[in-house]
Amino acid sequence: MADSPRRPLLNPVLRFTQDPKPKRVTGGGKSADSIIRNRLDEQRKALAQAFRTMAETAANQPSFSGQVVVYAAMFEDSLAPSYTPDDLFHPIHGARLITPHRLGYLVEFQVDQLTRLAVQIERTTRVKELVDISRVQSAGFFSEENARGGRELSTLWDAAPETEDGRAFITWLMPLRSREAGEDLIQKVAGLRDQAISSPPPLLEVTCHGIFPPPAIRVRPNEGTDNEANEIQRRADYRHPGRA
């Protein structure tokens, strides 16, 4: 009797039709049991005051098409993905989560909605929002200190490789969620070309000090040396981060 054909480990008919996207672990979702009762009232007051203060001082902060970036720090017992504060920081309140950052999250806010959120924090009875309020430790504008990671400017400057015209730094543009805000950021960065900041040569070749890049990424002479073309490409990459 012939052996029956074995079932293949992978069904060749199946195909992946969606790009992989990170999804948070819900852990059963937010419920009344997730509210930290003994600090809820204190956090209502603290966060409401924080957002009122930000509303009053927003004119002095970097903004992009009416959007500002806020760093919301979480309590140590609230760092699990299931406590992501996306119910309080929701588009209905003029907010969009950008990305996790250090011990919290970066959040994009409409400047004209900061005061409204302060009122919402004081008055809401929605369970999921109360969970978030009790678990967000503090909130404030994403600052120069946040960007520096707590390091001194002099330390960063001394650690940067020297070039003929100064020092070389690798920078990342804030991944703003709003298309209008992203375009505004691109234009402001482009304006830096007229000041004391210049685009680097390919692969920062002047800082390699004789260390050659692998052949797969080596740049031929006269290729990719047009700073303007490089900048146009960087803008396109920022607008379409998921493009192959």
- Give the pLDDT of residue 129: 98
Burial of 118 from C-beta contacts in 10 A (0-12 / 13-18 / 19+): buried
| pTM, 2 dp | 0.64
Per-residue pLDDT tens over the stretch 27-65: 457 999 999 999 999 999 999 999 999 999 998 887 777
Per-residue pLDDT tens over the stretch 77-103: 999 999 999 999 999 999 999 889 889
- Give the pLDDT of residue 158: 84
Per-residue pLDDT tens over the stretch 100-124: 988 999 999 999 999 999 999 999 9
- Give the pLDDT of residue 124: 97
Per-residue pLDDT tens over the stretch 169-223: 777 667 676 777 777 777 777 777 666 555 555 544 444 444 444 444 334 444 4
Establish how many alpha carbons lie within 13 A of residue 188's alpha carbon, considering only the half-sphere containing its beta carbon: 12
Quick one: which of 71, 113, 74, 67 has its CA closest to 92? 113
CA distance 82 to 68: 25
